[in-house]
Amino acid sequence: MAITSAIIVGHHGQDGRLLTGQLRAGGARTLGIGRGTIDASGVTWDRTVDITRAAEVAAVVGALRPDALFHLAALHESSEEAEAFDPDAVRARYEVNFFSLLHCLEAIRVVSPATRLFFAASSHVFGSPDTAIQDEDTPLRPDSVYGMTKADGLLACRIYRARHRLHASAGILYTHESPHRDAKFLAMKIASAARRIRSGRPEPLVIGDLDAVIDWGWAPDYVDAMRRIVGLEAPGEFVIATGERRTVRDFLDAAFAAVDLDWRPHVREDPGILARPGRPRVGNAARLRAATGWIPTVGLEEIARRLVTGDPSAPQG
């Protein structure tokens, strides 16, 4: 299915910006919805939408009746940020990460049943898994509020598929990077440090665990997977991952090589800065590959180089 019109909930984040670019490059009309912002192209809608209010979500979905709605909005901390678990913090995350998704699902059911929905879930739904590789059949065992909200969103999509026959799919996304990534996350901290040290400011970079295993992908690839999933005849759940076990050391090697430096004199390991250490999560995207032909196109070394150098030849969507 070619997407000719779409709503992107969470258009201001990395994936939302990349997705908007890819859709518009393909000629689609889009409405991006963010925190107090909208970004309309080819559609008639001129007011902001509070995604925590069901009536406002229903109004925009009913007015536009898009081919697709992508729910990408989420509140999320990095591994070095302590996650608040008080009732107010939990409620705030559920309002954005989960209940706004329910508002989208219900609006589609009532006023635009032909609209296809994509929900951006996360490998955090698996928590600290017992298996070295995870797929769509791995048990959901979230161990963080963020993981809880994403697991509940995935289950909500299942219910709306089963009970209401909606085309509601979920992508279980593993770590993915681009220059649009928030600066608080590890890959961007490493890239920024490599540039800073190369420019003559040698303040040390502190890393929590040099041997931490991460399944690292290129965000434009992952956004392409979202569009492919929406275009499938049958909805479902799909892991979006490279399947490669890489370490923080690997990323440091690649990032500092991009500026012809050895990272070892400039990096210090301190496990104490990790607020939420956990077991490695590496994904098996065989189901996605079989259904859509999708494969990741950019490996870790090239990802690190692009983040450090800002290579203009690397399309960002």
Residue 314: the pLDDT is: 46
**Strands of 37-41's sheet, edge to edge?**
37-41, 29-34, 5-9, 68-71, 116-122, 168-173, 237-240
Residue 88: the pLDDT is: 87
229: amino acid identity, one letter: I
Q: How many residues comprise the chain?
A: 317
Beta bridge partners of 93: none
The C-alpha angle 307, 313, 317, rounded to 5 degrees, equals: 80
- Given a contact cutoff of 8 angstroms between Cβ atoms, the answer to whether 105 and 117 are in contact is yes
Q: Provide the token pair at 71.
A: 């729910």
Instruction: Write out the chain in H/E/C secondary structure.
Output: CCCCEEEEECCCCHHHHHHHHHHHHCCCEEEEEECCEEEEECCCCCCCCCCCCHHHHHHHHHHHCCCEEEECCCCCCCCCCCCCCCHHHHHHHHHHHHHHHHHHHHHHHHHCCCCEEEEEEEHHHHCCCCCCCECCCCCCCCCCHHHHHHHHHHHHHHHHHHHHCCCEEEEEECCEECCCCCCCCHHHHHHHHHHHHHCCCCCCEEECCCCCEECCEEHHHHHHHHHHHHCCCCCCEEEECCCCCEEHHHHHHHHHHCCCCCCHHHEEECHHHCCCCCCCECECCHHHHHHHCCCCCCCHHHHHHHHHHCCCCCCCC
Q: Rounded distance, CA 53 to CA 40, Å?
A: 20
Give 87's pLDDT tier (boundaries 50, 70, 90).
Answer: confident
Residue 252: the pLDDT is: 97
Residue 316: the pLDDT is: 44
Give 80's pLDDT tier (boundaries 50, 70, 90).
Answer: low
**Distances from the Cα of 195 to the Cα of 198, 203, 247, angstroms:** 5, 12, 20
Asked whether residue 313 carries a pLDDT value surpassing 70, the answer given is no
Give 79's pLDDT tier (boundaries 50, 70, 90).
Answer: low
Per-residue pLDDT tens digits for 133-185: 999 999 999 999 999 999 999 999 999 999 999 999 999 999 999 999 988 89
Q: Rounded distance, CA 22 to CA 18, Å?
A: 6
Helix pair 14-25, 219-230: axis angle to 10 deg: 60
Give 26's pLDDT tier (boundaries 50, 70, 90).
Answer: very high
- Given a contact cutoff of 8 angstroms between Cβ atoms, the answer to whether 202 and 40 are in contact is no
Residue 82: the pLDDT is: 59
Give 276's pLDDT tier (boundaries 50, 70, 90).
Answer: low
Asked whether residue 46 carries a pLDDT value surpassing 60, the answer given is yes
CATH 3.40.109.40 correct for 5-180+215-244+280-292: no
**Distances from the Cα of 97 to the Cα of 101, 130, 250, angstroms:** 7, 26, 32
The C-alpha torsion from 35 through 40 and 44 to 50, rounded to 10°, is: -10
Per-residue pLDDT tens digits for 215-238: 999 999 999 999 999 999 999 999
- Please tell me whether the overall predicted TM-score, pTM, comes out greater than 0.85 for this model: yes
